Amino acid sequence: MSLSVHHFLPGDRVEIREILNERIWTVRPVTVIEDSEDQFVSYLATGTLIDYPVDVEHGEKCFTMWLTGKWELVQKEFSASGMLRTTPRSVPFEVFTTVLPNGGVASWYVKCREPLCRRPHGLDALDETLDLIASRDLSVWQRRDQDELEMAAATSLYSSEDVERLLASCPSVEEQLASRKVPWYLSWLESRPRTIGMGTCSRICRLSFFTS
C-alpha cells in the first residue's frame, strides 16, 4: 500500500532547515506559496528571524566548521529583500529569486542541493556549494563558487564522484537558460508581494498572495 505525500497549503508557515551530519546548520521560516506534484515554492520575508551559524564565511572557514562539526547558531534578522525559493521536483537544484520592494525579480540564483526531505513542519535539504546566477531576462549567466567546490573536494568534503556529478548538472541548466525553457515560473518577473498581519514574535509579515 502506497502512502500519500502530505502537501502543505498556500499560506502555511513552515521551516526549511539545512542539516549536516545530523546537526542543524540553518533554519529559515518561510510561507508556502505552492506545494504541488511539480514544485515547492516558498517566500522568505524581509524581517524574518533565521537561525544561522555564528561568524560563518564562505570558503575555508565554512568548510572547517563542516569538517569539525564545531559551530553555534544565532538568530539574525533577514534584512535583504524578500526571497522566493522554487524547488522543482525532478531536478537537483532550486532557484532563489530576490523580489525587489517595488516589485519585479532582480535575478535567478540556481543552487545545487541535496534532495528535499519532508518533515511534519517543513523540509530539510543542504546546499551543495555550486551555483549559477542568471540575469532576470535569462540573457546572461555564469557559474559561481566552482573554486569553493574544488576547495571542498580537496578537504574530502566532496568525493571526486560528487564533483563530477555537480559539474555535469551545469550544462543541462545552461541549455534550459539559453532556450528559456526553465522549470520555474518566469511569470514571477513582475511579481509584487502583498502582506497582511504583522507577526507578534518574529516581526514577520504573513504573505497573503502575489500580484503581477
Question: What is the spatial distance between Cα 9 and Cα 156, in angstroms, rounded to a whole number?
Answer: 40
Residue 192 pairs in a beta bridge with 211
CA distance 131 to 146: 8
Determine the pLDDT at residue 11. 92
pLDDT value of residue 212: 46
Residue 45: exposure state from Cβ atoms within 10 A (0-12, 13-18, ≥19): buried
Please tell me the pTM assigned to this model: 0.82
C-alpha cell at 22: 545530523
pLDDT of residue 1: 35
Does the pLDDT of residue 205 top 90, yes or no? no
Instruction: Please give the pLDDT value at position 5.
Output: 63
pLDDT at 51 over 90: yes
| Cell representation of residue 97 | 529569486
pLDDT tier at 18 (50, 70, 90 boundaries)? very high
pLDDT in tens, 152-168: 888 888 888 888 888 88
Phi, psi (degrees; rounded to nearest 5) at 19: -120, 130
* 109 φ, ψ (degrees, to nearest 5): -115, 105
Q: pLDDT-derived band of residue 196, with 50, 70 and 90 as boundaries?
A: very low
* pLDDT confidence of residue 194: 60
Q: How is 83-137 classified by DSSP, letter by letter?
A: EEEEEETTSSEEEEEEB-TTSSB-EEEEEEEPPPEEETTEEEE-EEEEEEEEETT
Q: How confident is the model at residue 4 (pLDDT cuts 50, 70, 90)?
A: low
Q: Domains in the chain, start-ordered, CATH in brackets?
A: 13-204 (2.40.380.10)
Q: What is the CA radius of gyration of the chain?
A: 17
Q: H/E/C letters for each residue in 161-180?
A: HHHHHHHHHHHHHHHHHHHC
pLDDT per residue as tens digits for the range 53-111: 998 877 788 888 888 889 999 999 999 888 999 998 878 889 999 888 777 888 999 98
Question: Do residues 54 and 71 touch, judged by C-beta distance below 8 A?
Answer: yes
